[in-house]
């Protein structure tokens, strides 16, 4: 058997922005750089991100999310039904208690809050993919916020209650918004669309979830109810969308390099909901020890592809290719090697203000991932 076609490499989405881009954004905010010139900066940053992924040997590339404030906040930059609101402005006493427990830096978090009926008045991601495809021959994957993570962050009783008295009242409009985007992404030629669902990953210990619920005034009877809602929202979003590969990315948050602040625990807590998801690829954190072992999938086999996290995006140490090979071989025993895609645990900079490693480190890590894939393929030819 030949190793060709096995162990394709991909990314989860974001790459750290070049300093000249963040300087340009700051200059634009001060009124010293025109919107038109800033758009050129964004275009050039995307081309650079694509070429650097090509150089690093990544098989399936992204536009690096260079244009987005964050993987979540960008929704408010595109769709006026949402407004970016600093979390600090929404805090209650109860929410402050949870934030203190986690040592959460609330000051750097802004959420896209629902401030009107949800309508797709502009593309969310399809335009990004179209631009990227003009500048690379590689398949272009598209990360997009998942419906559960969007809802739990965006429905706020005080600000959204006028339009949607309860979170449940927003299910229909919110999943329609994302489903329409999936159809646009199919049209734009995305090779793979990944629904980002860190809010599902936070089910491992519920600390972050409790904070969000308190922040937004969402009352839930028990946590199982949230589990059920998360799978229902994903499945409503993807329903009837054929002819394009869809996946769900589950992680435990990604805003600073010190991992002590993140949720800890394996996928056991949410395995039933995971197996319910009607998508082809699961993109899972596994390089971080916080993610637990592969074992839960021995007893609960996942029938589709697995985007296996082999790079710890929060650790500045660049993994040795042989170390990555060992990780993949362990996973191949459980998932089957023909189902594996190699990718980092998460994006390298889920939000503009919080790159977790430097650009140089990010690309060195992607190179190590490519070398590991080559070693694995060579071992099977």
In the complex, the residues that contact Zn ion under the rule CB under 5 A are: 251, 346
Helices assigned H by DSSP within the chain: 19-29, 35-56, 74-78, 93-102, 126-133, 147-154, 157-160, 171-188, 198-201, 207-216, 223-238, 271-276, 296-299, 321-335, 359-378
Q: Which of 237, 346, 375 is nearest to 288 (CA)?
A: 346
Nearer to Zn ion, 87 or 346 (CB): 346
> Could you tell me the smallest distance in angstroms from the CB atom of residue 282 to Zn ion?
12
Nearer to Zn ion, 246 or 346 (CB): 346
DSSP state of 166: S
Instruction: Give the other-Cβ count within 10 Å of 329's Cβ.
Output: 12
Nearer to Zn ion, 125 or 251 (CB): 251
> Could you tell me the smallest distance in angstroms from the CB atom of residue 251 to Zn ion?
3
> Could you tell me the smallest distance in angstroms from the CB atom of residue 354 to Zn ion?
13
> Could you tell me the smallest distance in angstroms from the CB atom of residue 12 to Zn ion?
6
> Could you tell me the smallest distance in angstroms from the CB atom of residue 172 to Zn ion?
27
Nearer to Zn ion, 159 or 346 (CB): 346
Q: How far apart are CA 217 and CA 92, in angstroms?
A: 9
> Could you tell me the smallest distance in angstroms from the CB atom of residue 262 to Zn ion?
11
Nearer to Zn ion, 159 or 251 (CB): 251
Q: How far is CA 30 from CA 24, 27, 33, 35, 41, in A?
A: 10, 5, 8, 11, 16
> Could you tell me the smallest distance in angstroms from the CB atom of residue 71 to Zn ion?
8
Nearer to Zn ion, 9 or 160 (CB): 9
Q: How far apart are CA 111 and CA 203, in angstroms?
A: 19
Nearer to Zn ion, 71 or 131 (CB): 71
**Sheet containing strand 340-344, strands side by side:** 141-145, 192-196, 246-250, 281-284, 305-311, 340-344
Please state the φ and ψ torsions of residue 145, each to the nearest 5 degrees: -60, 140
Are β-strands 246-250 and 281-284 bridged in parallel, bridged antiparallel, or unpaired? parallel
Asked whether the CA dihedral 60, 65, 71, 74 is positive or negative, the reply is negative
> Could you tell me the smallest distance in angstroms from the CB atom of residue 309 to Zn ion?
9
> Could you tell me the smallest distance in angstroms from the CB atom of residue 234 to Zn ion?
15
Q: How far apart are CA 339 and CA 249, in angstroms?
A: 16
Q: How far apart are CA 38 and CA 33, in angstroms?
A: 7
Nearer to Zn ion, 156 or 263 (CB): 263
Q: Which of 5, 14, 147, 29 is nearest to 68 (CA)?
A: 14
Q: Which of 281, 185, 303 is nearest to 241 (CA)?
A: 185
Nearer to Zn ion, 47 or 102 (CB): 102
Residue with tokens 């600093």: 86
Nearer to Zn ion, 251 or 277 (CB): 251
> Could you tell me the smallest distance in angstroms from the CB atom of residue 347 to Zn ion?
6
């Amino acid at each position: 058997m030949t190793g060709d076609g096995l162990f394709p490499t991909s990314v989860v989405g974001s790459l750290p922005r070049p300093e000249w881009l963040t300087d340009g954004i700051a200059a634009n905010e001060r009124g010293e750089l025109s919107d038109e010139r800033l758009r050129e900066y964004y275009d050039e940053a995307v081309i650079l991100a694509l070429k650097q992924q090509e150089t690093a040997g990544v098989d399936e590339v992204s536009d690096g999310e260079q244009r987005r404030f964050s993987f979540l906040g960008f929704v408010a930059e595109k769709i006026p039904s949402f407004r970016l609101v600093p979390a600090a402005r929404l805090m209650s006493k109860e929410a402050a208690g949870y934030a203190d427990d986690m040592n959460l830096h609330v000051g750097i978090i802004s959420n896209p809050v629902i401030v009107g009926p949800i309508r797709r008045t502009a593309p969310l991601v399809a335009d990004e993919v179209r631009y990227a495809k003009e500048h690379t021959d590689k398949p272009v994957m598209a990360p997009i916020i998942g419906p559960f993570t969007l809802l739990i962050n965006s429905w706020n009783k005080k600000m959204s209650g006028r339009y949607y008295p309860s979170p449940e009242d927003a299910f229909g409009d919110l999943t329609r918004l994302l489903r329409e985007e999936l159809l646009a992404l199919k049209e734009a030629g995305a090779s793979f669309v990944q629904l980002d669902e860190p809010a599902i990953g936070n089910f491992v210990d519920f600390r972050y979830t409790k904070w969000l619920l308190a922040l937004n005034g969402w009352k839930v009877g028990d946590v199982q109810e949230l589990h059920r809602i998360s799978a229902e929202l994903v499945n409503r979003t993807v329903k009837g969308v054929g002819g394009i590969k869809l996946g769900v990315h589950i992680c435990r948050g990604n805003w600073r390099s010190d991992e002590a602040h993140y949720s800890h625990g394996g996928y056991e807590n949410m395995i039933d909901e995971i197996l319910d998801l009607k998508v082809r690829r699961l993109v899972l954190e596994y390089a971080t020890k916080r993610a637990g072992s592969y074992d839960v999938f021995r007893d609960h086999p996942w029938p589709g592809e697995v985007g296996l996290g082999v790079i710890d995006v929060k650790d500045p140490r660049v993994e040795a290719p042989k170390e990555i090979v060992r990780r993949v071989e362990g996973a191949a025993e459980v998932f089957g090697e023909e189902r594996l895609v190699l990718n980092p645990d998460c994006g390298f900079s889920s939000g503009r203000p919080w790159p977790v490693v430097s650009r140089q480190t990010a690309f060195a890590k992607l190179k190590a991932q490519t070398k590991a894939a080559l070693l694995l393929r060579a071992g099977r030819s």
